[in-house]
Amino acid sequence: MSNSDRFSLSMRLFHWGMAALVLSMVAAGLLMVTSLQPWQLTLLNIHKAFGVMAILLVTARLINRLRHEPPALPHELADWQKTVAKASHWLLYILLFAMPVSGYLMQYFAGRPVDVFGWFRLPAALQVDIHYYALFRELHGWLAVVLIGLIALHIGAALHHHFIRKDDVLKSML
């Protein structure tokens, strides 16, 4: 496989790093909403801090993506499949921005500042607004459901390319 058939090293590092971060954030989010254990507050604070890191990383990843051309999709793919593949990737970027923004706005309107590992703190609203808090909490939850579905579709497509189509789509990201 030549370099033009592979994603750049920086794109691969961003992909797998963000994959690990997002999957751990989703797992933490699901754990937090199903448990009232004493560790839940600690996990919530870690989740919020990593959410801020996620938006910084996805911004850097998007800049990197715009600077590096990805390998072409297989020529034998139908045009509609190429369109769906490209649209799903851009939807992933949108969701990777929207999730931490909605999470922060939820905390903001709840009057809770977000501490990022003691490095810096994002402010909270001076006055709690329960309606906006509820709106962004609901939005955050629904975005998570859509993100989980899109991740499942993404993984399924990669495995389909590797095991069924036997092309180099998955290999180009390894």
The ranges assigned to domains in the chain are: 3-173
* Sign of the torsion formed by the C-alpha atoms of 103, 96, 170 and 3: negative
| Phi/psi at 7 (5° precision) | -70, 150
Give the C-alpha separation, 126 to 109, whole Å.
9
Helix (H, G, I), strand (E, B) or coil at 105: helix
* Contact assessment for residue 128 and residue 111, using Cβ atoms and an 8 Å cutoff: yes
Q: What is the pLDDT of residue 33?
A: 83
With a CB cutoff of 8 Å and minimum separation 6, the contacts of 72 are: none
Q: What is the pLDDT of residue 3?
A: 58
Q: What is the pLDDT of residue 35?
A: 74
Residue 100: beta bridge partners?
none
Per-residue pLDDT of the chain (174 residues; tens, 9 = 90+): 555 789 999 999 999 999 999 999 999 999 988 877 888 889 999 999 999 999 999 999 999 999 999 999 999 999 999 999 999 999 999 999 999 999 999 999 999 999 999 999 999 999 999 999 999 999 999 999 999 999 999 999 999 999 999 999 899 999
Radius of gyration of the chain (CA): 18
With a CB cutoff of 8 Å and minimum separation 6, the contacts of 89 are: none
With a CB cutoff of 8 Å and minimum separation 6, the contacts of 19 are: none
Architecture (CATH level 2) of domain 3-173: Up-down Bundle (1.20)
Amino acid at 31: L
With CA atoms as reference, report the closest residue to 50 among 68, 62, 67, 32. 32
Q: What is the pLDDT of residue 134?
A: 98
pTM of the model: 0.91
Give the C-alpha separation, 23 to 11, whole Å.
18
Burial class (CB in 10 A: 0-12, 13-18, 19+), 108: buried
Q: What is the pLDDT of residue 37?
A: 85
With a CB cutoff of 8 Å and minimum separation 6, the contacts of 148 are: 26
